Amino acid sequence: MTAAPLLASPLSELAQALEAGNLTSEKLVASAIEAYRASDDNSYIQWCPEQALALAKASDRARKAGAFTGPLMGLPVSVKDLFGVPGLPIHAGCARPLPERWQAAGPVIKALSAQLAPVMGKTHCVELAFGGLGTNSHWGTPANPWDKQVHRVPGGSSSGAGVSLVNGTAALALGTDTAGSIRVPASMTGVAGLKLTAGRWPTQQIVPLSHTLDTPGLMARRVDDLDYAFRALDPVVSKQRVVHTSASELADLTFGVPAAFFWENCSPGCVNR
């Protein structure tokens, strides 16, 4: 299993290549479209190549004219189908679309759109985000792309988000996390996920599961990509205009890894490997 080479590159490198004129957003979106045609993993409930390509061309024209709309300018993004995106029906994993008022963009999507980041489509999720395996009886369960022989779950509830990164159809994925809905699929598809502190980013126009625990969040191929995208979208940090980061800038962070948290109450026969 391979991913589109362009979208597998670090976000900061893609952004620098766009800024230098060595790459175009149109080429990035074309790469995502090619990857989608080669995939059969059911990661999207709505695939929007024409809309994304039009925005990519607009981004390229704006950049050529000397405009800079933000660090995510021209970078293809997938969006979990809990977020309102203007003009795109929202199902939140349900059999029928939600009322049209849910299509309106909230603060997170407005911040993304303002930077002219092409949205490749809306990715599948568990019905109303209530579940960690990634299954959906209405729309089918996205296939974990790491096994082409056996249909394996990708984790949920942001089930299509991690898949969209691995299959090369997006460089960044927007998801949500209440009790693991980004962290679980990130782990199960081998990408990086960021669960924000509740209240750090607004949740307006994101279909709720828990008003006290819901958070928007990000998934990307690597931790420094998450750092880059967080700096681009966070309403506080983005004002500092620090956009290009590297893994070395994260070297002073301290991470705690629980030794037995997932294994303390397992049934006999489950082994921590």
Active-site positions?
A: 80, 157, 181
Strand segments (E) across 192-273: 192-195, 215-220
**DSSP code of 209?**
S
Nearest to 79, CA basis, from 179, 14, 164: 164
Tokens 């679980």, located at residue? 184
State yes or no: cis peptide before 157, omega within 30 of 0: yes
**Residue 139, CB-side half-sphere exposure with 13 Å CA sphere:** 29
> Apex CA 115: angle with CA 245 and CA 172, to 5°?
55
- The Cα–Cα gap between 126 and 209 comes to 11
Cβ contacts of residue 190 below 8 Å, gap of 6+?
A: 146, 162, 166
Separate counts of helices (H) and strands (E) for the chain: 7, 6
